[in-house]
Each structure stands twice: as C-alpha cells, then as structure tokens.
Structure 1
C-alpha cells in the first residue's frame, strides 16, 4: 500500500502536528483537503464571522496552492455552519468571490452544533491539474 502523500503548507505545521492530521492528502489526481477554519495565527477562532469565513477560504486557498491547485480545480465542497439561517448570506458573498463563475462545484452545507469554537468550516475535494 502506498504511503499517504501529505500536503502541509508552510507556516502551519505545528498546528497540524498538534492535532495529528494533514492539511490535505493527494491520492492519484485527487486532492482531499481537511476542513479549514477561520483561525488567527495562534490557531484561535476569529470572533468576527465575516472575517472568520474569509480566513477559512484564504487558508483553503493556501492548501490548494501548495498542491498545485486553485479553486478552479475544486469539484466538491462541504461546509459546516453553527447557525446556517443567519450565516448563509455572508457565506454566499465570500463564496462568490472565491469560487467564481459557473460551472460551480458540488456543494453540501451542513448545520452543526459544535466546531471547536468556530462558526464555519470548509472542506473540499479537488482534481489536481496535469503538469505539462
């Protein structure tokens, strides 16, 4: 069995090591990205919700880039929300600026009661572009 091909962007290794997971795993031409949250540099939750969502998308972008991908390569998205009804508009606005134009990736939004102090989390699956 092949060893996991972990993607860990620079600057966050201690956080991933502390919690014992990888930012993403490459498997063939697919990239499975762990849930990204809007944390401050020390790993604590950003209290402003809009900023927290932007930071989560920013962190996701960094992981995608570390694997040679971008949001254009994302095929499946799952988001987790502690209060979907009140958060939806904010998430959709940030999403529109990150995801861009159609065709859009698959998207599943899940309401949850706990995200370790966070209010939003996003995880994706992306297809890794072929290197020329």
Structure 2
C-alpha cells in the first residue's frame, strides 16, 4: 500500500509518499515524470564520433530523472532518498529505453557491451552493463 515515510526521522513535514510491498519488503518511489516524450533528442554532427552523450546534460531539453509524489518538495525527496540508500542493501530500477540507431545493452553486430547504455547515479557513480 501507499505510505508516508520519514527515513531521516526528522519532522514529519518532509516525509515522502512511497509504495510499500509488504510481501517482498520493497519500498517503491515513483518518478515525478512517468514518461518522456518521443522525439529526436540528439542528432550527432559527426556520425563517426564515438563520444558518450549524457541525456541530462548534452541533449536539448534533456533532464535528470527526479522522484517523489505530488506534494513532496524535490529537496525533501533527495534527503529522504539519501537516508533510504544508507539503510538499504540493494536497489533496482526499471527503465524502458527506445532509441533509434542506438544500443541499449548488447551490440549484436559486434557481440560486446562497448556501446551499452551508461547511467549515472545521484552519487555520481557510473553504472555500466556487465
């Protein structure tokens, strides 16, 4: 069910709304934007260029994923998520990725992960395919 939780155990004013799956022990936090518009986000000026492009920095209108429900302030969600991370042993996230002429995971033609999607956590750590 849905609950308001306060992982930093401060005042209840900065609590965040989450979905708790009591059977699996999971705490689920929804993104503020559930879907991203389908459009041409990036067109390389040089098709032979092999550099990595960050969605939230290099692409026109790109953004960083944000979490929290209506009524939660972004700064409160960030603080509470930091405390959730400290109290958790693992995390998972589902992202559906549709991007024409790009590789999300395994490059079938090359048989490797060199072009796989690269994610960056809020702690600046890069998450690579293995």
TM bracket (short chain): 0.3 to 0.5
Give the structure, 1 or 2, with the largest relative contact order (CA under 8 Å, sep 6 or more): 1
Alignment TM-score, normalising by the size of structure 2: 0.34
Bigger strand share: 1
TM-score (norm 1): 0.33
In terms of Rg, which structure is larger? Answer: 2
